[in-house]
Each structure stands twice: as C-alpha cells, then as structure tokens.
Structure 1
Amino acid sequence: MIFSLHHVIDSLAGMLTGAYPDYPVYDSPNQQGTRFPCFFLFFMPSTIEEHVGNHYFRDLGVDLVFVQQRNLVNGNRKIHEIAEFLDRNLDPFPYTDGSGKSVPVPVQDQQWSIEDEELHYQFHIRTRILVEETENLMQEMEENNVGIKEND
C-alpha cells in the first residue's frame, strides 16, 4: 500500500463526506466559490526521520477546519457536534490508496479549539513507511578487449 499526502486527504475527505454529504471538503483555501458549511484540510509542519533499511518514520500534522456562516443562532452547537463526531470516529480512520484496500490508520495528539467561529481539529499521523529502492540492473555486458602492451 502506498502512503502519500494525496491519499491521506482523499481518505479523510471520504470519511467526512460519508457523515456529512452536503458539506464540501477543500484541500486548499478558496478565494471564491466556497459553499458553507464546509471542511478544509491543511497540513501542519511535519517531520521525516530516516531509519534502518529504507524505512522512514513520518510525523504528519493535520489541521481539519470546519467553517460555517458567521453569527448563526446556535452556531456553536454544530461546531460541538462536529468535534464530538471527530473524537468518536477519527481514531483510527480508514486509509485507502485507491487500490480498493483499506487499512485503519491511528491518529495521536488530538486537540480542538474554536477560533473566529471556526473549529480547528488538529492531530498527528505517525507512521513508519518503507521506500522501496529501484535497482538499476545491468542490461548488457560490454566486452573489454584490453591487453597489456609489452615493452621491447
């Protein structure tokens, strides 16, 4: 299974749209055309540590933002509902790389806050990945017709 940022976004978006089908999920800030309420997925600073044998430890920070219209009556109620849904369903979330297989990926350090009437649900995905090396095998052996010149 291939672990990539694109597939992380797709997997999280799939989980969110399964529960909230009318709420679009965006992976970049929209300047116009944003439909509210909606979700935004952002990556926070992340780290990669090299381990033995082409293995790497990846610590990927994610900020999932829920945005709705401003100054709604009972607007905080919806924010709390979304936060509670994420608390119950995010760990682990079903990760897929598009091959049809799905694996549960645990998340850590979940925390949420409300800023400017927006829910910021932040967490980390910490996983060990293997990067397979491609070997450049010799296709054809060259002949080496070299001899030793004798001095007379």
Structure 2
Amino acid sequence: MMLSLRDAIISKLKTTFPDHKIYGEKVEQGLKKPCFFITVLPGDVIELSKSMQQREITIDVQYLSEEETNAKNIEMADLLNDLFRKIALDGLTVSVIERRFEIVDDILHFFLDLDFIVMLSDTEQHELMQEIIHNKEVL
C-alpha cells in the first residue's frame, strides 16, 4: 500500500513535470536539478476492528530548483498544492486532508498528510454454523 501510494505520487509528478528528475530513493551522486525526492514518513496504524485499519501517513515531496530561490520554491508549492488535492491509486481515490510546506536550506518540503481507512481481507477460516432446531411458537 505504501509503495503504491509513493508510486502514484511519482506518476502524478512525472505527468505534470516531465522535464524534472524524480527520485524515490536517495541518490549518492549525480543529482540533476530541478528534481523531486519522495519520502514516506513514519505514520500511525490504528486497528479499528479485525477487518479495518485507520492509517495516518505523511509524504514529504522535496523539491530542489535550479535557481535555489525562495520565489521558485513558493511558486512550486502553489503548483503542488493544486496538484495534490486527491491521489488516485489501485482504483481508489485518497483525499489529502492537509497540505503544508516549509523551505529549509533552499529545499522545498511539501508535506501531504493522509488519513484513510483500509478494509482488510478476512483470511480467518470460520466454522460453519450448526443447524438450529426451534420448536417454540412466536407470539
């Protein structure tokens, strides 16, 4: 699920910014600007029942511009804000509940906060119910 989410974000960025390099993993050398880094930050998984989980996840979309100016970073933040209102993956659409950004050392960090419920498949084997014999009248 997390990799599908990351891949959906990468796909959306590739479609919108075809001339930007997009990294899903760290790059040791040979960084080419302008580029994006996608990082899935640790999140919470809350068991609601045997078949449902609530997941709270934050994705950090980092943007490195060629010019390294605040103006370019703020301009990109506006574009990303419009782009990531919803994310489609695996036939589902996830609404982004909060979008925020900060600029640290000339790098834009655009955060996507997601809160959604996952329906789990029931893998438990259940015993069949026995036949019920009921001889009383219903009044």
Instruction: Report the TM-score, using the length of structure 1 for normalisation.
Output: 0.75
Q: Which runs of structure 2 are paired with 1:53-132 in the superposition (5 Å)?
A: 53-69=50-66, 72=67, 75-93=69-87, 95-97=88-90, 101=91, 103-132=92-121
Letter in 1 for 2:13: L
Is residue 4 of structure 2 the alignment partner of residue 7 of structure 1? yes
**Deviating 4+ runs (over 6 angstroms):** none
Q: Which runs of structure 2 are paired with 1:130-149 in the superposition (5 Å)?
A: 130-135=119-124
Instruction: Tell me the distance in 1 between the aligned counterparts of 2:100 and 2:57.
Output: 15
Partner of 2:40: 43
Instruction: Tell me the distance in 2 between the aligned counterparts of 1:24 and 1:133.
Output: 40
More strand by share: 2
How many Å apart are 1:78 and its aligned residue?
2.3
How many Å apart are 1:35 and its aligned residue?
1.6
Q: Deviation string for 1:49-73 (max 9, x for gaps)?
A: 001241000001111100134xx3x
Letter in 2 for 1:77: A
- % identical aligned pairs: 23
Q: Which runs of 5+ in 1 are unaligned?
A: 138-152
Instruction: Tell me the distance in 1 between the aligned counterparts of 2:17 and 2:72.
Output: 12
How many Å apart are 1:45 and its aligned residue?
2.4
Q: Deviation string for 1:94-113 (max 9, x for gaps)?
A: x223xxx4x33111221101
Q: Deviation string for 1:90-132 (max 9, x for gaps)?
A: 1112x223xxx4x331112211011111100112111100121
- Between structure 1 and structure 2, the one with the greater Rg is 1
Instruction: Tell me the distance in 1 between the aligned counterparts of 2:119 and 2:55.
Output: 10
Q: Which runs of 5+ in 2 are unaligned?
A: 127-139
